[in-house]
Amino acid sequence: MNEVAKHEIDGWLEKAVRADLLTAGGLTEDAAALKAAGALLYPNSLRRKDDTVCCLLRLGSARALGVFGPGAGFSGESRSLPGGGRALFCALSHENAESLRALLPWTAPSPLASQKTTIGLGDRLGVAGPGHIRTLEDRKAAPVLAQQSVRELDLTGRSYEDVLDSATWAVFQEGYERPWGADGDHLKTEEWVRTALGIGFTMITADVSDYIHGEKAALHGDELLAAYAGLPASFRRTLDAEFLSLRLTLDTGEEIRFDPEGLARAALVYGEALDHAERLYRAGVEAAGEGGFDFELSVDETDTPTTPEAHVFVAAECRRRNLGVTSLAPRFVGEFQKGIDYIGDVKEFEKSFAVHAAVARHFGYRISVHSGSDKFTVFPAVGRLTAGSFHIKTAGTNWLEAVLVIARLNPALYRRLHQGALDSFERATAYYHVTTDLGKIPALEDLSDAELPELFANSDARQLIHITYGELLRNTELKRDFFSCLEEHIEAYWQALQVHIGRHLDRLGI
Ligand code: ZN
């Protein structure tokens, strides 16, 4: 909401007077009275700092910040209160979010390096936060509430300011004073690293996939060694000294060692990627200082799984280059497709995941699992084999839950979304790797309204909706109807998230 509607403010004041919420010059801090007036404000948001009382209000279908007292730094619609004093009714703008973060530091994100378990809860729509926070209430995990890649920003037409502010308002609304993070996800350039940290993000996921030369892994024998000989001599000397005598025994019993061919292969595939990781890390340090941000290195967007040797090579090189890695995302065996369960041999996954987790432990960072939405069959292994020390990212499933709420509560709108998704599916596959078979999705006209939610148990239908969010939200009319419906049923959406993300956490054992 960019404007606070004046008639909504008058309506609010009238109701507040009737509910006895206003004392001489301010808002009562009587929790019971505020709870009773829950439809008017979010009682958990109420905070006093010096002479200023602020809280999150509901004005009609929109939310606004209420500031009672001096409240320097906020701008909004000023009103005198019946008992004397003044109140400001502020739009949830970027400037007001900045002022709120300055007034109440816990509404700003912080680095989570010291946390054991962290979960990324990407919220492409900017409205899921309260549901996520309620899910986390009695769990031993710290949330990364703002998490967006540049691809997602493009597809949703949002900015990093907006992504961060949405999380701030959610945290404020729920009165969530524990640490939470903000992740500039899959950033590929130094400029984006500086931008995200400059805006206030506290985590960078460095995506170096464009610099990983997977094709070099196929080289063998003389060809391989000749290619290695082409690397700068000083680099080779450093690597030879670092790796050829290395005997690393992991706590799971595996021993990692490098012969000249193995080292040459790792260096050729990952050498340039490490150079780029270093550039991105230095850009981060310039912007936020050493230790001022979490640094996740992601090598997951490749075709072939990361071998244990490759993981050790990357980790050891990061250490030699003094990169403060807080988590690392390898490419695991099997398929981690968006919004559906793991595809592959679970036993094989467990075996290789155990080794990656051990490498992460050895080097002192958390293992990170990307595309972690709905991977229910492998969650127990992730929780057990890391003893709870991991980072996991979800995003698409939060969007899917929003569409599922609409399928339940507004079937006509769902049908329009579904048709729009079918019409734009082909275009959307340019951004996401999926193996969706549209032929396996029942035709809309064969389904009754009551049957629509069942589509969300169909992997192909899930992926259809999952990857087309950008196309659907680009349609102005559809976008408007989508958001107004979701806002109307926002408590149902938050409840759905509590159930669905709660199931994730249950399976992960946190
Ligand atoms: Zn990833």
b/e map of 283-318 (b: 16 or more CB within 10 Å)? bbbebbeeeebbbbbbbbbbeebbbbbbbbbbbbbb
| pLDDT given at position 267 | 98
- pTM of the shown model: 0.95
Yes or no: say if 141 and 119 are a contact pair by the CB < 8 Å rule. Answer: yes
**Which one, of 296, 294, 295, 246, lies nearest residue 266 by Cα?**
246
Yes or no: say if 154 and 188 are a contact pair by the CB < 8 Å rule. Answer: no
Tokens, residue 42 = 């979010």
CA of 6 to the centre of ligand 1 (A): 44
CA of 435 to the centre of ligand 1 (A): 17
Catalytic residue among 123, 152, 183, 185: 185
| pLDDT given at position 242 | 96
The size of the chain, in residues, is: 510
| pLDDT given at position 25 | 67
Q: Is 261 a catalytic residue?
A: no
| pLDDT given at position 278 | 98
CA of 144 to the centre of ligand 1 (A): 15
Yes or no: say if 95 and 45 are a contact pair by the CB < 8 Å rule. Answer: no
Residues 369 and 392: their CA atoms lie apart, in Å, by 5
CA of 270 to the centre of ligand 1 (A): 17
CA of 105 to the centre of ligand 1 (A): 30
Residues 196 and 227: their CA atoms lie apart, in Å, by 37
Q: Is 161 a catalytic residue?
A: no
CA of 346 to the centre of ligand 1 (A): 20
Q: CA angle 322-149-200, nearest 5°?
A: 65
> Which residues have a Cβ under 8 Å from the Cβ of 234 and sit 6 or more positions away?
none
Residue tagged 């595996």 (tokens): 254
| pLDDT given at position 70 | 81
> Which residues have a Cβ under 8 Å from the Cβ of 480 and sit 6 or more positions away?
none
Domain boundaries, the chain: 3-92, 397-489
What is the identity of the amino acid at 129? G
| pLDDT given at position 228 | 97
Catalytic residue among 98, 183, 296, 317: 296
Residue tagged 């936060």 (tokens): 129
User: Would you call 127 helix, strand, or coil by DSSP?
Assistant: coil
**Which one, of 276, 327, 322, 317, lies nearest residue 297 by Cα?**
327
Yes or no: say if 393 and 370 are a contact pair by the CB < 8 Å rule. Answer: yes
| pLDDT given at position 23 | 79
Yes or no: say if 273 and 208 are a contact pair by the CB < 8 Å rule. Answer: yes
**Which one, of 320, 332, 333, 354, lies nearest residue 251 by Cα?**
354
Question: Per residue of the chain (510 residues), what is the pLDDT tens digit?
Answer: 456 788 889 888 888 888 888 877 678 877 777 777 777 889 899 998 888 889 999 887 789 999 998 877 999 999 988 878 889 999 999 999 999 999 999 999 999 999 999 999 999 999 999 999 999 999 999 999 999 999 999 999 999 999 999 999 999 999 999 999 999 999 999 999 999 999 999 999 999 999 999 999 999 999 999 999 999 999 999 999 999 999 999 999 999 999 999 999 999 999 999 999 999 999 999 999 999 999 999 999 888 899 999 999 999 999 999 999 999 999 999 999 988 999 999 999 999 999 999 999 999 999 999 999 999 999 999 999 999 999 999 999 999 999 999 999 999 999 999 999 999 999 999 888 788 999 999 999 999 999 999 999 999 999 999 999 999 999 999 999 999 999 999 999 999 999 999 999 999 999
Tokens, residue 139 = 């769990």
CA of 274 to the centre of ligand 1 (A): 17
CA of 71 to the centre of ligand 1 (A): 41
**Which one, of 172, 169, 174, lies nearest residue 136 by Cα?**
174
| pLDDT given at position 1 | 43
